[in-house]
Structure 1
Amino acid sequence: METNMQISQTHFLQHQKPYRIWKLIQIIFWIIGLAIFFALVFFPKTGVLIFWNILIPIAPALLVFATGLWRNVCPLSTTVLLPRYFNLSKRNRMSVQWQTRLQFVSILLLFIIVPLRHPIFNNNGHATAILLMMLIAIGITMGFFFEWKSAWCSTICPIHSVEKLYGEKQWLTLPNAHCTACANCSLPCPDSTPDFHPGKAHKSLLQKINALLIIGGLPGFIWGWFQVPDIQSPIPHFNALSTYGLPWIGATASIILFLFLVSFLDKKSTEILIQMYAAAGVSIYYWYRIPELFGFSKFSNDGLLISLKNSLPQWVVTLFVITIIVIFIWWLVFKKPTKKSWLIRPAFVNRNNQSIQH
């Protein structure tokens, strides 16, 4: 009988060719990510345009339909996993308690960093580059101690909670381009658990708080964020009330509404409400973001990619946005569960591992 290690090796050999293809794709996206980073440093206006007005607007739609694709090619993910790839990691297994704590930190980071786009990051390539360097430093440092994606991708990454909310229903399941053997680094594994969303893991009080913050808070937070204009100044100008007031008020109101509705619902209806909140979050984002990209923002040139204001009627943009929103609502709320995970789980491997103390 084959051991788990032998099964893992057999699995890898059988999938060696597609794995190599995915590694090539990863390298290409990593080089693109590095080029964007250098653009932020040396050509800040171009870097800001590419990062905030091209890459980031694509991300929510990608997370809705193919979270696994992003999980495979994210340049930041590839970077912070380098200690593991070069066998420099101590490969400690992180306990579920610490995973939950770091996921709480990731949600706080999301709610703290995103509002800072208006006074600082949206118009400052150097500040954005510094932010990325700080996140990379945190991720790589954790990668020296903890196993695979538990170090960053499935815990403290500020985007991970959004991945879980938007990525419940998947269009396709892809091979795992990072893990050739499953070490059970994250429990449950978000990559290989079908129909996974933040509300699925709610045994502890902190897990329930995490779920409530991201499920209930995100739609209102996004709405509030779009009510705040960018500060058009080369020098960062920060005012806590104007920066955080409306986003946090929106998140709070959204959470209160969610709790009120849940109090009347059974388990099945609550699942539908979660799907509706996910659809509301991504729909609100594109309701505001697409007009911004093409010059129809109520705040001058905020978030501008290319201005079509003088060559395209606004109703065309509005119709396009409504069409996209209808697709999101159908996909996230009305479409039957796909029973697909983000990525294919590789074969398990047994190994002795230390656990983080808690």
Structure 2
Amino acid sequence: MQRGHLLTEQVNPNSLNLDQLSNLELVDLFNQEDAKVLSAIATARESLATAIDLTAAALAKGGRLFYVGAGTSGRLGVLDAAECPPTFCTDPDLVQAIIAGGSAALVRSSEALEDSAEDGAQAITQRQISQHDVVVGITAGGTTAYVQGAIRAARQRGAKTIFVACVPVEQVASEADLEVRLLVGPEILAGSTRLKAGTVTKLALNLLSTGVMVRLGKVYGNRMVDVAVTNSKLHDRALRILTELTELERDQAEQLLERAGRKVKLALLMHWTGLDPREAEALLAAEGGQLRQAITEFRKTTAPASDSAATAPQT
């Protein structure tokens, strides 16, 4: 198929006079076009929800999540993967990104490297991707050979595969198990998929990774209770979570956090159950790291809360 026929390569009739617009008119046009991004996410809601379920199930059984892309799509995958360890205290190996051209492609354009399906397949082999893993191929126009080759190789190795693209299936098909089509239409600057296509892809990856981590028990209410306390900002966030969800003063919350080995989720369970760190850790492990389930199980298997235990808020 000729690239000119792809939705992402077509000319946007609303911006034919882009070079003649005032700055204010340009800003307004971008705003109008970017509104289509949210509509595209809404249209893809069912496939995004399925992607969350598919990925969470794999990761809960010891699998890994891999993003594969080239250019802007690859960089967005790298960004999302890099944010998971500090936000959800995940092992860096749990969510990984594969970008055509490697780390050098993060800061310097390497578009020619996206044309090799063999390189994409080789990257899958190098990461020893297996039937336990999930591979998300990201390609705005859908035709990126590197991504197509990676998806094909991942399926051959038994992995679950998800294809994220901004063109309809009838324009570009894939061999993936699940399709996520984010149809934002032609770009204001024809073919520049770092614009709407990039924005909608970022939103989709936000949804996927956050939804997966919610399913894995790394969120309580809307708090990131598995936050990695690795700097002063995150230490402050951890203390705010503890003081907001308990009746503790900040100095008491700090003492509790230290007793829990700087693990916010463990600290909350200790506070609400009166268990010591070892007992609370064992209970969390038995409930798959799910704080809410651990609290429910504690209440079912123990006598009414003693004076040493507090009541968890009904979030």
Scaled by the length of structure 1, the TM-score of the pair is 0.23
Question: Which structure has the bigger radius of gyration?
Answer: 2
What is the TM-score when the length of structure 2 is the normalising length? 0.25
Q: Per residue, is there more helix in 1 or in 2?
A: 1
The higher-RCO structure (CA 8 Å, 6+ apart) is 1
